[in-house]
Amino acid sequence: MSASRTKPQNRRRAAVSIRDVARRARVSIATVSRAVNRVSTVDPELAKRVWKAVEETGYVPNTQARALVSGRSRILGLIVSEITNPFFPELVQEFENLAVAQGYEVMIGSTNYDPARTESLVRRMLQRNVDGVAVMTFGIEEELVQKLVEREFPLVFVDAGPDLPNIRVLKVNYAEGIREAVQHLAALGHRSIAFIAGPLNMRSAVARRDAFLKSMAELGIEVPAEHVVEGNHTMEGGLEAMERLADLAELPTAVLCSNDMTAIGVLHALDRTTHSVPKEISVVGFDDIHLAQFMLPPLTTVRMSCRDLAAAAVEALRAGIEPDRAAAGQKEWSIPTRLVVRQSSTFPRGTLPAVVKQVMGKGRGVRLD
């Protein structure tokens, strides 16, 4: 039942090889290969015999051998910052679904913001000969991916990357969603809006903060320096940042956060100090992770769809890998963002117009799904 010329050292049952199928179908291994790969020139009669034999033997082509001879592994690398931030699993999931549907496997790795770890990760990806790598760290680890760049692997970055032939970039339109959020708050009457940024050594954190400042400036609302504090995109960071904000002479009436985890930390901090959200202070997040709608109260947030992101990443990667693909020449993909209003934002404290009080039953704001 298995290739006879070898001695299967390992105690695992030897896999059926292309030779076993060829023998059984009474054709050459070349024909089996062609039939299995659906080459159109194969005689239908023989093809049928081959498929029958495949069926009977349970033959599964060996990917390693395929990769070895073709030089392409059909593996896409996906590098994220940390898999424990809920945004990333959602992204990973989408990415994987799309990749698998298109015949690719995914090799995932998280950097945990650790250069040594990243180094080892890149090395492993090189070693496994991935066909391309999507670097979705929202970070600044470009120099760490130097090796991939050198080897001219097709690469996809978020927000920005070196301008090289094999590199494609996903441009997230932070401005539009954040402007929407600021305008939403301003329209409700907020003038004292604080911003909790992400770690400012991250390009995307800076972009989000700048989008906030720009949107505020557009409306002619001044932002005191102490209203922009640096967090680190974790719950802990949000909690701490909010505590700093709460120490100010006057508590802002609204807080916009650079991501949802930060916002969750903020909600926690406010609960600890018995400030009610949104009555006393409005909180708005960014990302729209699944969890956001389950917060207490459900979180108003700017959605950056990880489906959009994943789809663009896979598409951009394939553009780099398969030279005669339609999008092969495209170097940039644009990712939209938009506000999702839930219950963590409302009028500034003490300003709820009497009319509104009457009109509002329980739920105001646009509910999601």
Question: DSSP character for 273?
Answer: T
Q: Which residues ranging from 1 to 30 are in contact with DNA (CB under 7 A)? A: 3, 5-6, 14-15, 17-19, 27-30
Beta bridge partners of 229: 196
Question: DSSP character for 14?
Answer: P
Q: What is the Cα–Cα distance from 218 to 103, expressed in whole angstroms? A: 46
Specify the residue, 44 or 350, whose C-beta has the smaller distance to DNA: 44
Site string for a second copy, 201-240 (x = CB under 8 A): ----------------------------------x-----
Helices 260-272 and 235-246 pack at an angle, to 10 degrees, of: 50
Helix extents (H) in the chain: 18-25, 29-36, 44-57, 63-70, 87-101, 115-127, 146-150, 174-188, 203-218, 235-246, 260-272, 306-321, 354-359
Which of DNA, a second copy, none lies near 105, with the C-beta cut-off 5 to 8 A by kind? a second copy
Which of a second copy, DNA, none lies near 108, with the C-beta cut-off 5 to 8 A by kind? a second copy
Q: Quick one: which of 113, 80, 111, 81 has its CA closest to 95?
A: 80
Which of a second copy, DNA, none lies near 3, with the C-beta cut-off 5 to 8 A by kind? DNA
CB of 354 to a second copy, least distance (A): 24
Q: What is the Cα–Cα distance from 107 to 39, expressed in whole angstroms? A: 29
Which of a second copy, DNA, none lies near 189, with the C-beta cut-off 5 to 8 A by kind? none
CB of 236 to a second copy, least distance (A): 8
Residue of 10, 41, 274, 358 interacting with DNA (CB under 7 A): 41
109 near a second copy, rule: CB under 8 A: yes
Residue of 23, 36, 97, 176 interacting with DNA (CB under 7 A): 36
β-pairing, 193-197 vs 282-287, is unpaired
Q: What is the end-to-end Cα distance of the chain in Å, rounded?
A: 55
**What is the DSSP secondary-structure string of 151-211?**
TT--EEEES-----TTEEEEEE-HHHHHHHHHHHHHHHT---EEEEE--TTSHHHHHHHHH
What residues line the site for a second copy (CB under 8 A)?
Answer: 8-13, 15, 58, 60-65, 67-68, 71-73, 82-84, 86, 88-90, 92-93, 96, 100, 105, 107-110, 120, 123-124, 126-129, 147, 150-154, 166, 235, 264-265, 267-268, 271, 290-291, 294, 296, 323
What residues line the site for DNA (CB under 7 A)?
Answer: 3, 5-6, 14-15, 17-19, 27-31, 33-34, 36-37, 41-43, 45-46, 59, 61-62, 65-66, 68-71
